[in-house]
Structure 1
Amino acid sequence: MLDYHKLLMDARSRLRAIDAERDHLLALVKHAEALAASNVGAAQAKPTRTLIYAGGGGGVRSRPAPTMAPTRIAAREILDELGMPVETRDLLPLIQERGIEVGGKDPIATLSARLSNSEEFKVRRGVGWWFSDRPFPGEDFEEAEDDTLEGDTSASS
């Protein structure tokens, strides 16, 4: 036999959880709107981005967003300027010299992950990072494509 009281209590509990989630999302929207309003008309040399997330203890907090696009742009410029592949451990200080903070507990691994997540680059173990749409210097495109270890974050760190 069905326990209607238990079914009603379960439904009430689910509705309260939905209400709590809605309230949380509304708080996130208000926080985002406040951030946007405070940045309107503000002259900034470098755009500031913020990630909004809910912590385990509830409430809304923010933290600086990673600088993936500037990292990618700097890597592209460096590879173009040098005209040769560069290993991750050698690329990191060159990117940092341009004022880009890579961050993370292991900045070399962070940089490698960022470049791996970009379709713009490929890596070859012992050689370094290069453009995915170009052959490695001194090779035909087909040869470079066959030997490339795309997405291997441990390749050159």
Structure 2
Amino acid sequence: MPDRQTLAIACDHAGFALKETLKSHFADRIDWIDLGANSVDSVSYADFGKKMGQAITDGQVQRGIIICGSGIGISIAANRFPAVRAALCTDATMAHLARQHNDANVLALGGRIIGVQVAIDCVEEFLNTAFEGGRHTARVDALGQC
């Protein structure tokens, strides 16, 4: 079993159910810092993307998971922070490559787009795949110049 990790997790109302499911499923391996939302009451995805961006920027966590209805809005908000490399993934292969080639530090999921098992598979890949480095290092470094 992998070592325990600490990750932040944030969502809007559309991602709340999936957030709670993931927290429960990975409770034996992850210490969660829950940045909200805390219910299905309507909120802005931008606020929670910002909370994740701030948590990464401030060094509160090194990695996190964000969820909104499609995963698009919350990932756009989080990616406004230079320290964030949020990747919207719809399957395990994307999550694997996001870590391996892009050193993604935030996994974005669409709570209305993918099923629970696919989300679990994405999180597994996000947790267990290392950044490959090598030729990818210069490309990831160049992201800071954008």
The interval holding the TM-score normalised by the smaller chain is under 0.3
TM-score for the superposition, normalised by structure 1: 0.24
Structure with greater Cα Rg: 1
More strand by share: 2
More helix by share: 1
Query: Which structure ranks higher in relative contact order (CA pairs < 8 Å, sequence separation ≥ 6)?
Result: 2
TM-score for the superposition, normalised by structure 2: 0.25
